Amino acid sequence: MSAKILYGKEFAAKIKESARVEVDDLKNKFGVTPGLAVIIVGENPASQVYVRNKHKTCEELGIKSEVIAMPETSTKEDLLSKIDELNAAADIHGILVQLPLPDAIKSHSEEILNRIDPLKDVDGFHPVNVGKLVTGSPALVPCTPAGCLEMLDLAGIEIDGKRAVIIGRSNIVGKPMLHLLMARHATVTVCHSHTKNLADVTREAEILVAAMGKPKFVTADMIRQGAVVVDVGINRIAPKKLVGDVDFDAAVEVASAITPVPGGVGLLTVAMLMKNVVKATKLQLKVKT
Ligand code: NDP
């Protein structure tokens, strides 16, 4: 058997199209243009590419985009006061601080991110949004796991009642994925580096999410026949070679559906960011999300 390959491009296009429709709706019904501010500190080339991509996607969808480039020498106080300014700006509905921050202020990342108004926290990292996700209130959810869920839905993959296993328990991917899948009535197990007999656990998964950051770690014998495999991992193994956490060539023979790397989940993150900007705008306007 060869699995159906879930290409991110196709799903990202659908997610962006639905965001574009909602942006038009907000403009027409409320006279409001959703606005995203992205703060980038320093000259990290990878961060610059990500920020350019976010800016371009905003423009494509009619979202107002403001990129605030701050010098490498910026202090924690500089960032906090910029965030305060954006929290108060009526035309900005989403605020994002591009990570990683420069070494000199890296240790303050949490304090800086937590200064963002939870209603404008489009990365979904603020403890208020984490708490809402856990308790099932409308929340801004981290873009990568939210994108994975959206993709499963768009692909028509049933979640209710399924056995799901997540490898990885980070705040950005693993933990929010747990709550998203559990809220949709999957029975979810989360594995991590202390999990014993990992393969015995992963072989139970009808939906397997790999988010560990270990190249090709998940081999075919760790996958249940017919499982849906979502590979979140992005690992650079050579200057121009990216691979996921799953040994794709072998896994494709066992799974019923699988995301490739590159070209899979990675493409959904920016699309979901756009949806989060729309959601943040609606939450601020007190319109149903
Ligand atoms: P973290 O490093 O924060 O977390 C990795 C998790 O994997 C940890 O919970 C760790 O366990 C677990 N882990 C590590 N080794 C093993 C092992 N041998 N067995 C079982 N579990 C293990 O990573 P992130 O969650 O931030 O990212 C995971 C991957 O996803 C990375 O490759 C990253 O690049 C990618 N990513 C992709 C995104 C996108 O597509 N846009 C966005 C975010 C991430 P423990 O907690 O015990 O240390």
> pLDDT by residue (tens digit) across 51-99?
999 999 999 999 999 999 999 999 999 999 999 999 999 999 999 999 9
Say whether 29 sits in a helix, a strand or coil. helix
Predicted local confidence at residue 82, as pLDDT? 98
- Interatomic CA distance for residues 218 and 198, integer angstroms: 10
Question: Which band of pLDDT confidence, cut at 50, 70 and 90, is reported for residue 271?
Answer: very high
Q: Is pLDDT of 1 > 80?
A: no
Which is catalytic among the residues 16, 82, 121, 123?
123
Asked whether the predicted pLDDT for residue 9 surpasses 90, the reply is: yes
Which residues make up the CATH 3.40.50.720 domain(s) of the chain? Answer: 143-267
Q: Residue 81: what residue type? A: S
Distance 213 CA to ligand 1 centre (A): 5
Residue nearest to atom 19 of ligand 1 (CA): 193
Is 284 in the active site? no
Mean pLDDT of 33-57: 97
pLDDT at residue 288, rounded to an integer? 83
Question: Is 90 exceeded by the pLDDT of residue 289?
Answer: no
Instruction: Tell me the mean pLDDT in the region 26-53.
Output: 97
Amino acid in the structure at residue 15: I
Q: Name the pTM for this structure.
A: 0.96
Cα 219 to middle of ligand 1, angstroms: 16
Cβ neighbours of residue 217 under 8 Å, at least 6 residues apart? 167, 210, 233, 245, 246, 247
List, as one string, the DSSP characters of 149-173. HHHHHHTT---TT-EEEEE---TTT
**With contact defined as beta carbons under 8 Å apart, do 37 and 68 qualify?**
yes
| Atom 4 of ligand 1, nearest CA residue | 170
Ligand 1 center–CA 85 separation, angstroms: 33
Write down the pLDDT at residue 80.
Answer: 98
Q: Where are the CATH 3.40.50.10860 domain residues in the chain? A: 31-117
Q: Give residue 28's pLDDT band: very low, low, confident or very high (50, 70, 90).
A: very high
Tell whether the model's pLDDT for residue 163 goes beyond 90. Answer: yes
Q: Which residues pair with 228 in a beta bridge?
A: 207, 257
What region does 162 belong to: left with phi over 0, alpha with psi -120 to 50, or beta?
Answer: beta
For tokens 């979901």, the residue is 272
Asked whether the predicted pLDDT for residue 183 surpasses 70, the reply is yes
Q: What is the mean pLDDT of the chain?
A: 97
What number does the ligand 1 atom closest to the CA of 244 have? 32
Q: DSSP states of 163-231 as a string?
A: EEEEE---TTTHHHHHHHHHHTT-EEEEE-TT-SSHHHHHTT-SEEEE-S--TT-B-GGGS-TT-EEEE
Question: CB within 6 Å of ligand 1 — which residues?
Answer: 144, 167-170, 172-174, 191-195, 198, 211-214, 232-235, 265-266, 269
Over the stretch 240-266, which tens digit does the pLDDT of each residue have? Answer: 999 999 999 999 999 999 999 999 999
Is 275 a known active-site residue? no
123 is catalytic: yes
Return the closest-CA partner of residue 278 out of 11, 13, 19. Answer: 19
Just give the CATH number of 143-267: 3.40.50.720
CATH superfamily of 31-117: Leucine Dehydrogenase, chain A, domain 1 (3.40.50.10860)
Q: How much of the chain, in percent, has pLDDT values that exceed 70? A: 100
pLDDT at 12 over 80: yes
pLDDT of residue 46: 92
